Structure 1
């Protein structure tokens, strides 16, 4: 599955090289992350980061496709009946965004994202078995281009898929937690 998805991203990134213009870049971001949904009313935000690269493939003058590969530190803080602890989730996220230039400086973007769980720790202990290995999300964002090369952006990632593996009670009834990632990112990017 991972090979198929990475192959699709490679085709998107390199298949459009004959488009009007393709530029590559790097970006970094500060994340404000949490987990939302059933049974996580006590989740608080955790500060993380993103770092990675992207390709901006102009389709027409005002529209571009922007595939990215990002390492993202996510998770949440919990204060509940089990005590206080941090759930730290590290993902390799691959968003593919449609980016529209409102003006030369201002852009808006939206698109799906797939994430692969690299590690999961709860208070420093390995918890990867409790989390799903693939996460799906949808991104909405806006950006500002200071120069042709330097830009800043804000993006919200709405989790679409549950992050927890299915759990069952003592009677083998499935427990529906419906817990999803929620990420607000403030980024700086540099295009070559």
Structure 2
């Protein structure tokens, strides 16, 4: 009897997955923090994202595709006295319009993000040789710590991308996420010269859809 119940439950879950058109995805991020009044050089850093998606058909080739993703973003900062990476960990919720053109999908829509953690890792100059001109750095110290209080907990972005259907539910795609929110949060200092940071993320991924 138990075996029969488990068999029926498995069949029910399989049918539900087929009807729901859910899937899993994961891939690579190339992320940077860009904006205004940044007195440092910012470079893209590689990270990753992973999560789930759901496809709801609206009419004909048009669907709505919400996703729930864990995404590591941030940037590499460089200036004369410091060289460090900022790693921002988000839970992101893109809600995309998906237009199917044969096996190619055009996707665009908003994304809402919630910051989980923020960490800085790198080095700073701690000593100089002032007998040279300009002074030469002689010693360095490590930077490592949580800096979540320097960033807003919420982020809003616009997304656009392409996705290509392959065999048996497998898909590959690319996407660009342009942040609209100034995520810098300076609680102790507020001036017109404060940096205004926005997320910029280029994503490449593979996805597998359950159901048809």
* TM-score normalised by L of structure 1: 0.83
Q: What's the RMSD between the two structures over aligned residues?
A: 1.6
- Cα shift at 1:47: 0.3
Q: How many Å separate the matches in 2 of 1:54 and 1:32?
A: 21
Unaligned runs of 5+ in 2: 1-18, 122-143
Are 2:144 and 1:145 aligned? no
- Cα shift at 1:174: 4.9
Contact 1:50 1:70 in 2 (8 A): yes
User: What is the SS of the residue equivalent to 1:165?
Assistant: coil
- Cα shift at 1:78: 1.1
Unaligned runs of 5+ in 1: 1-20
2:196 corresponds to: 178
Q: After superposition, give the CA deviation of every residue in 1:22-49 in whole Å (9 maximum; x if it has no partner).
A: 4000000100000111133610011010
1:113 corresponds to: 111
1:13 corresponds to: none
Q: After superposition, give the CA deviation of every residue in 1:108-132 in whole Å (9 maximum; x if it has no partner).
A: 1000001000000011310000000
Report matched runs for 1:97-136 at 5 Å: 97-103=96-102, 105-123=103-121, 124-136=144-156
User: What is the SS of the residue equivalent to 2:195?
Assistant: coil
Contact 1:54 1:68 in 2 (8 A): yes
Contact 1:88 1:121 in 2 (8 A): yes
Are 2:205 and 1:187 aligned? yes
Aligned length: 169
- Cα shift at 1:102: 1.6
* TM-score normalised by L of structure 2: 0.75
Are 2:51 and 1:33 aligned? no
Contact 1:155 1:184 in 2 (8 A): yes
- Range with greater deviation from structure 2 (112-121 or 39-48): 39-48
1:70 corresponds to: 69
